[in-house]
Amino acid sequence: MLDLKTIRELVEPNTTRIVMLVMDGLGGLPMTAGGLTELETAKTPNMDALAAQSLTGLITHVAPGLTPGSGPGHLALFGYNPLTYQIGRGVLEALGIGFPMGPNDVASRCNFCSLDANGLLTDRRAGRIPTEVGTKLVQKLRAIKLPGVEVFVEPGEGYRFVVVLRGEGLSDEVTESDPQRLGVPPLTMGAAADAKDPAAAKRTAGLLNQFVAEARKVLANDHPANGNLMRGFAKLPDMPMFPDVFGLKAAAIAVYPMYKGLAKLVGMQVLDGAHSGEEEMALLEKAYKDYDFFFVHIKWTDSAGEDGDFARKVGVIEDVDKLLPRILALNPDVLVVTGDHSTPALLKSHSWHPVPMMLYSKHCRYDANAEFSERGCARGALGVMPATNIMPLALANAMRLAKYGA
């Protein structure tokens, strides 16, 4: 298997530019047997014209049959095997709310919960309190101090929030406090049985238990949100940076914090300020001369899929098709159009179905498929391939990879 070290050794400088346009949750399914998918239904003359000159195929991000989360889906597009490089839940949650994780941070997904007079769990989600209430309670929790570490408490949606401990020698190998059932007290956290650094894990668990104890005091009169549960402890993964591995000065253009965070995680520079596809195009046009690689993320395909709104997803795809000429006008040496996973409106969730992908370049040796769709790309010359192949292929087509061996 090709590893990032081998790629790094082959990377050559060039002045060529690569644009990767990612429609989140792009892949879909027909609503009725024999029908068309969202992408097949959408009128996409610009994408189809590009497909006619592109190498096409379907991509799997983790492995056939596996449904990628947003983290693994994007890591694979960025060239990282998501089975090798794993992003913990706490980190993903922190990225999702735009918290700038540092190398000494341990992040945790937290819930407000309801406890009875005996400290037994009666509701794991604190009656699903609204975001405004959760945000106010988070402000109260910010009073909590712990010895030797900084504590960050950040609000999320509804009953969810994020706690980050920052300090030297912390570990994320800590057991969770959520017992996943009612009528019992939250669990005391401890070092994970297989912790590589048991002392650090024990110390971190102690700090977290102290946080929970303090939180009960602070929240004593806030029933139904009079307690909290902590899980998904995670530090930043130890991974090589995208600009170093691929020799590309890389920029990310996204609207939502999660995707900016994922790009930042691999060392891309985030270009802020866009709130729509049009504004994302404006950022791309403005910065085009300043970077070698652009990751452009379109969120609304996935949102529509998650909502089960087939027609809206079709509409989003058609809107993106209308933006495509603005990218083509920049004349990128390599243009990749694809998604990070499927989100069929039929399933209202991410799915395992491979995702259409096209790679355009002057030298791509395009195939006979001239339709950017699930069925069209299934006939493409790339077949069904791992998404991690995209970056080496993009570099090759950008004339940025030296010959392997003599």
Tell me which residues touch a second copy (CB under 8 A).
1-2, 6, 10, 29-30, 33, 37, 53, 58, 62-72, 82-83, 86-87, 89, 92-93, 344, 346-347, 349-353, 362-363, 365, 367-368, 374-375, 378-379, 381-385, 389, 391-397, 401-406
- Cβ 200 to a second copy, closest distance in Å? 24
- Cβ 70 to a second copy, closest distance in Å? 7
* E-state strands within 37-104: 54-60
At a CB cut-off of 8 Å and minimum separation 6, what does 82 contact?
A: 61, 62, 68, 71, 72, 73, 75, 76
- Cβ 311 to a second copy, closest distance in Å? 19
- Cβ 324 to a second copy, closest distance in Å? 19
Nearer to a second copy, 57 or 190 (CB): 57
- Cβ 66 to a second copy, closest distance in Å? 5
Nearer to a second copy, 37 or 204 (CB): 37
- Cβ 284 to a second copy, closest distance in Å? 24
Nearer to a second copy, 1 or 117 (CB): 1
- Cβ 314 to a second copy, closest distance in Å? 17
Residue whose pair of structure tokens reads 């590309």 in the numeric block: 248
Tokens of 87: 């992003």
Nearer to a second copy, 176 or 374 (CB): 374
Nearer to a second copy, 44 or 81 (CB): 81
At a CB cut-off of 8 Å and minimum separation 6, what does 1 contact?
A: 81
- Whole-angstrom Cα distance, residue 331 to residue 384? 27
Nearer to a second copy, 62 or 253 (CB): 62
Q: Positive or negative, the Cα torsion across 56, 62, 66, 71?
A: negative
Beta strand 334-338 with 355-361 is: antiparallel
Contact by Cβ (8 Å): 108, 208: yes
* E-state strands within 339-387: 355-361, 384-386
At a CB cut-off of 8 Å and minimum separation 6, what does 235 contact?
A: 88, 91, 103, 105, 106, 107, 170, 171, 172
Nearer to a second copy, 64 or 147 (CB): 64
DSSP 169: T
